Structure 1
Amino acid sequence: MLAGRLIRHPFRLLLCLTLGLILVGCSSDSGDGSTYTVKRGDTLYRISRATGTSVSDLARLNNLSPPYTIEIGQRLKTNGSAGTSKSGKPKGSTSTAKVVPSSAVPQSSWPPVGQRCWRWPTSGKVILPYSTADGGNKGIDIAGSRGQPVYAAGAGKVVYVGNQLRGYGNLIMIKHSEDYITAYAHNDKMMVNNGQSVKIGQQIATMGSSDADTVKLHFQIRYRATAIDPLRYLPPQGSKPKC
């Protein structure tokens, strides 16, 4: 149920779950065990780990609504069922304790290859692959030249166009179904509007370096709110999808 709500609200998908989609962070116990004070550099996922409060409960308890902006210094309510130590870990936890968001889809449950028809969003060398590691790249980074076309990897509806998400620069998100969303980050010129329907292969942007140190496209495929490895589902680069 949570995953369905996240797909219907793409801001929550990127802003409240891992990678990226990223917040102007949250952390630090206020001292009473039931609130946290927003600070730079953390995420709702980290607060979830530190307090034992699920990401969905944090959103519900704090009446977070689009675009789910969290301000530094803001106090966030938590369930208060698990206090934190000075180290920021839940009391009684060990260094190996790990809390996974309830909406995360394990790799063994990723959709089968060929379930949907995808095309490459642009051409170029993959300079940073997908990673399942904590804090790892939750998509692929494709090198290219400024102004190079960026295409929709599938048909769908544009659900976000903007640059409010730190670390993504000029970002476009396309919803393809209740299960799938793709994200295209670091664009230069954006050529679509929020709410616009697009076709597979339609140009949606030009490649740039917004909020990045080099010209590149960061591309994600998200399945039920979980970022999955695009290279597993894209056809060989330079070929057309066989679907």
Structure 2
Amino acid sequence: NHIDPPYRIYAGQRLLTGKSGVAREASETSPAAVSPPVKPFQAPVATMPLRSAANSAAPASPPTVSAALPATATPPESPSSSVSAVHDGSAADDNHAVEAWRWPLSGRIARDFQEGGNKGIDIAAREGDAVAVAAGGKVVYSGQGLIGYGNLIIVKHNDKYLSAYGNNSRLLVKEGDEVAAGQVVAEVGQINNREPVLHFEIRQAGKPVNPLDYLPKR
């Protein structure tokens, strides 16, 4: 500004200042601005209340929902496959002996007795032919509950002997009936479109025996 000593200045006097000088002096004397440290962001943490020792045990298992099961129906008894299993536990007519056996019907033998196979004989007939009881006794079974016998009648003659008549179309007597030798108790039926036959068995002490050993020769 070319001001001579003693460097007086007056009100209203215009002075020039140099930006480069000011900037230079400021850069030499002013400390570098330091940015304040930035704190790392910390997400808020939810605090849980402390549990007592009693509550700190393993979490209880979720409650078990037990569905009510329907009551299981008792299955019906399966019919016995053994003719000898059917009896009423009483002797017929004071345990009288079978004096004579008779053929339940006339006809050729369509199938013979076989140990471990056919437990009786099959007698060929016509559908509806009358079936006569082979000896007197008491009817202890009349029905179709035994598998493989169709409509079946079992007669107890005494504590030792039973006779059975299977593959019938009609049963003419009921359980508990007393029958005489030769009395008609059923009619022959036809099974699965095969030849009509009467299946005839004799049981001795529960064991099947060959009826031809007991029936009269012919």
Relative to structure 1, the CA distance from residue 165 to residue 180 in structure 2 (aligned partners, 3 Å threshold; closer, same or farther) is: same
User: Which string of whole-angstrom CA distances, capped at 9 and with x for unpartnered residues, describes residues 66-118 of structure 1?
Assistant: 9xxxxxxxxxxxxxxxxxxxxxxxxxxxxxxxxxxxxxxxxxxxxxxx96310
Structure 1 position 235 matched with structure 2 position 216:
yes
Give the alignment partner of residue 117 of structure 1, picking from 93, 100, 106.
100
Q: Would the aligned equivalents of 1:127 and 1:143 in 2 still touch at CA under 8 Å?
A: yes
5+ residue gaps, structure 1: 1-13, 23-64, 67-113, 238-243
Under a length normalisation based on structure 1, what TM-score does the superposition of the two structures give? 0.50
State how 1:141-160 maps to structure 2 within 5 Å.
Answer: 141-160=122-141
Relative to structure 1, the CA distance from residue 211 to residue 176 in structure 2 (aligned partners, 3 Å threshold; closer, same or farther) is: farther
Tell me which residue corresponds to 2:187: 206
SS in 1 for 2:149: coil
Tell me how far 1:210 sits from its aligned partner. Answer: 4.2
Q: Distance in 2 between matches of 1:195 and 1:164?
A: 17
Tell me how far 1:209 sits from its aligned partner. Answer: 1.9
- What CA RMSD, in Å, does the superposition of the two structures yield over aligned residues? 2.7
Q: Distance in 1 between matches of 2:80 and 2:193?
A: 19
Structure 1 position 196 matched with structure 2 position 196:
no
Higher helix share: 1
Query: Matched residue pairs, number?
Result: 132
Q: Would the aligned equivalents of 2:84 and 2:207 in 1 still touch at CA under 8 Å?
A: no
SS in 1 for 2:181: coil
Q: Would the aligned equivalents of 2:84 and 2:203 in 1 still touch at CA under 8 Å?
A: no
Give the alignment partner of residue 173 of structure 1, picking from 154, 157, 163.
154
User: Which string of whole-angstrom CA distances, capped at 9 and with x for unpartnered residues, describes residues 44-69 of structure 1?
Assistant: xxxxxxxxxxxxxxxxxxxxx99xxx
Tell me how far 1:15 sits from its aligned partner. Answer: 2.3
Which amino acid in the other structure matches residue 151 of structure 1? A
Which amino acid in the other structure matches residue 15 of structure 1? S
Under a length normalisation based on structure 2, what TM-score does the superposition of the two structures give? 0.55
Which amino acid in the other structure matches residue 154 of structure 1? A
Larger CA Rg, structure 1 vs 2:
2
Tell me how far 1:166 sits from its aligned partner. Answer: 1.3
State how 1:208-227 maps to structure 2 within 5 Å.
Answer: 208-210=189-191, 213-227=194-208
SS in 1 for 2:80: helix
5+ residue gaps, structure 2: 1-78, 88-96
Relative to structure 1, the CA distance from residue 124 to residue 16 in structure 2 (aligned partners, 3 Å threshold; closer, same or farther) is: closer
Q: Would the aligned equivalents of 1:117 and 1:154 in 2 still touch at CA under 8 Å?
A: yes
Q: Percent of aligned positions with the same letter in both sequences?
A: 40
SS in 2 for 1:231: helix
